[in-house]
Structure formats: C-alpha cells, structure tokens
C-alpha cells in the first residue's frame, strides 16, 4: 500500500468509529474525505459499499436493540425516495445540494440543542416524512445519515436503540442506491483494490465504536450527535463558499 492508501484506510476507520458512536453512519464524514482522493461518482459508489459492509456488522452487534416497527415505517419511504434521489443524482449540481443540506443541518441541530426536551410525536406522518427526506438526500448527495439522525433523535430513542434502528434503516437505503449508481454507470474500476480495505475498516471502526458507545451517558450521546451534525453543516457551508 502507498502512503495515500494507508491514510485513506485510517480515515475510513475513524469515520466508522464516529459514525457508529453518533448512530447515523459514516457517510456524512466519509463522503467529503473520500472526495479528497477520488472523483465524486466513485465516492458515491465507495460510500454505498462501505455502508453495506458496516451496516451488516452493526445489525449483528446491535441485533437486540432494533425497533423493527420503526424500521419498516421509516425505512420504506426512505428506500423509495433514495431510489428517486439516486436516479436524479446525475442531473443535480453537487454544490447546490450540499449548500441546502448544510443550511438544514445547522438550523435543525441548533434548534434541538436549544430545546433539549423537544421531541417529535412518533406518529405515522412524522416517521414517513423524516424517512422520505433522509432517503432523498442520501440518493442525491451520497449522505442522508445526518438527517436520519436528526429525525430519530427527535423521537428520543435510547442510544443503543437509536444506533441499531438507524443501521437497519440504512441497510435498505444503501442497497437501493448502490444498484441505481451502477445503472447510472458509476463504478470503482480504478479503485477495486479498496474493497478489502473497506471491509476491514467497517469491522474495526464499528467494533471500536460499539465499545465506546457503552462508556458514554445518554445526555452526552445526544449532545455529541447534535454537535457533530452542527459541525458537519458548518463544514459543508465552508466548502461551498471556498
């Protein structure tokens, strides 16, 4: 492995650790980092692969902490709108999509930080809306985990339930968008050697993340997730205007 490949591998592991602890997956960190190494369409494909691997591991590790009723209600609209977003991804300007996502993440995370006891009623309409929005964004820009995280966070789930449920939903989202990316002609022909590296990063990052999750309190977990989402929103805005 060359120096750049080793750096990419280490960063992928760190993305998986943070993605597991935060509960909304690694793509929101992995997409901008992978973009420093590979073209945008290859990044989308690599992200889909990484998430399929990591979510398989998460579902196994958190199998006792999955709210399956929420998975189906949230996941079906998420997958449906992911397909729509993925189909439209080749027509959408990535910069404009990231600006929109950045503004949304900043506003919503600040609101939840200011009103810590705010929660959405876990009714059918709220679940379907948050699922559909997160899926659509995931299909277009490659990462909808932060929006899904905000949606699930607003339902005040326990941390293990949050992570396990989010991973189960994300699995359907990633499988669906991966096939659409293939149909769109996206591939990793020039980076096929990364597949074993992504599998290893998924396993190591998820396992370490699960260990760390057991060491933190629910209050710290909620604030950590919201501050991460806020930071991601600010980062996206900085990138857009650089």
Q: Are 18 and 209 in contact (CB under 8 A)?
A: yes
Q: Is the pLDDT of residue 65 over 80?
A: yes
Closest CA to 73 of 169, 192, 202, 215: 169
The whole-number pLDDT of residue 116 equals 67
Q: pLDDT tens digits for 119-158?
A: 666 677 777 888 888 778 777 766 666 677 767 776 777 7
pTM above 0.85, yes or no: no
CA distances from 196 to 86, 94, 237, 241 (A): 25, 28, 33, 35
| Residue 196 token pair | 């074993």
Scanning the structure block, which residue is given the tokens 């991804």?
Answer: 89
**DSSP code of residue 191:** G
Lowest-pLDDT range, 59-68, 85-94, 193-202, 220-229? 85-94
Q: Is the pLDDT of residue 91 over 70?
A: yes
The whole-number pLDDT of residue 208 equals 92
Q: Is the pLDDT of residue 190 over 70?
A: no
Q: Are 75 and 131 in contact (CB under 8 A)?
A: yes
| Residue 27 token pair | 């793509």
The whole-number pLDDT of residue 143 equals 63
């Amino acid at each position: 492995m060359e120096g750049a490949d080793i750096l990419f591998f280490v960063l992928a592991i760190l993305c998986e650790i943070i993605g597991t602890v935060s509960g909304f997956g690694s793509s929101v960190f992995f997409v901008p980092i992978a973009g420093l190494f590979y073209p945008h369409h290859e990044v989308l494909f690599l992200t889909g692969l990484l998430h399929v691997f990591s979510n398989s591991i998460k579902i196994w590790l958190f199998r006792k902490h999955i709210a399956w009723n929420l998975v189906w209600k949230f996941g079906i609209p998420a997958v449906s709108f992911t397909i729509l977003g993925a189909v439209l991804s080749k027509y959408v300007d990535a910069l404009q999509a990231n600006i929109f996502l950045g503004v949304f993440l900043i506003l919503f995370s600040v609101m939840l930080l200011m009103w810590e006891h705010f929660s959405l009623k876990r009714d059918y309409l709220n679940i379907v809306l948050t699922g559909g929005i997160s899926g659509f964004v995931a299909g277009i820009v490659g990462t909808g985990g932060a929006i899904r995280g905000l949606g699930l966070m607003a339902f005040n789930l326990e941390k293990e339930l949050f992570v396990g449920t989010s991973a189960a939903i994300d699995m359907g989202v990633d499988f669906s968008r991966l096939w659409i990316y293939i149909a769109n002609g996206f591939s990793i022909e020039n980076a096929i050697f990364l597949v074993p590296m992504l599998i290893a990063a998924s396993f190591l990052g998820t396992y370490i993340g699960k260990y760390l999750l057991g060491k933190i309190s629910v209050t710290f977990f909620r604030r950590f997730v919201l501050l991460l989402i806020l930071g991601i929103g600010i980062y996206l805005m900085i990138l857009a205007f650089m």
